[in-house]
Amino acid sequence: MALSKKVKRKTRELIDSKHMLKSITLASFLESTIVPIPLEAVLIPLLQAKRELLWKIALMATIGCVIGALFGYALGYYLFDVFGDWLITTFFDEQQFNNVQQKMQAQGFWFVMTLGIAPIPFQVAMLAAGATKFSLPLFLLATVIARSLRYFGLAIVVYFAGNHAEKLIKRYRMKAVAAITLLVLLLWWLSNLSG
């Protein structure tokens, strides 16, 4: 409960801040790398309060996440051999990470897209992509598409629903995530058929 109040207080301060766009970029970077609090807790009230900046806020959130994804990819790429055991034991279990690495090697682009949309820590995809030396351009493309769907999707809901957006998002979030994830999986399956 105290965490919820703290997030609400910080959101109110952020709404009135002259550094709001920079702050949302930093918050998105931190959320995609180390902070376990979903950005939506801050982003939805911010989008509702600053509707005149709706698209800029969504863009800055996307940019922050992409920068965070690059950071996570670089950690996996350059430092996994040195810190890999520590990362796995601290943030994952070894079997879970081995499964992720196998999926990364087999499904790469689509796996990153799915993790970028689904409510699963994106850090897993970033580290696995770097550790397996997955194509950086494909990783970035999948990240941009997935996170744009996430943040611009929220902006679209706020644009049409206004102050009712938060209730709608809370009510239908899991259904929307499931539908988009199924769509991504269907596209992946279709790409395998044509390839």
Taking only the tens place, the pLDDT of each residue in 54-108 is 999 999 999 999 999 999 999 889 988 787 777 667 766 677 777 777 888 788 8
What is the per-residue pLDDT across 2-53, written as a single tens digit (0 to 9) for each?
A: 655 665 666 667 677 788 888 889 888 988 887 767 787 788 888 988 899 9
Residue partners of 130: CB distance under 8 A and separation at least 6:
72, 73, 74, 75, 76, 77, 78, 80
Rg (CA), the chain: 17
Query: Which is nearest to 149 in space by CA: 103, 104, 188, 118?
Result: 118
∠ Cα 133 102 185 (to 5°): 100
Q: Sign of the C-alpha dihedral, residues 60, 66, 69, 70?
A: negative
Q: Residue 16's domain spans which residues?
A: 2-194
**pTM score > 0.85 for this model?**
no
Domains identified in the chain, total number: 1
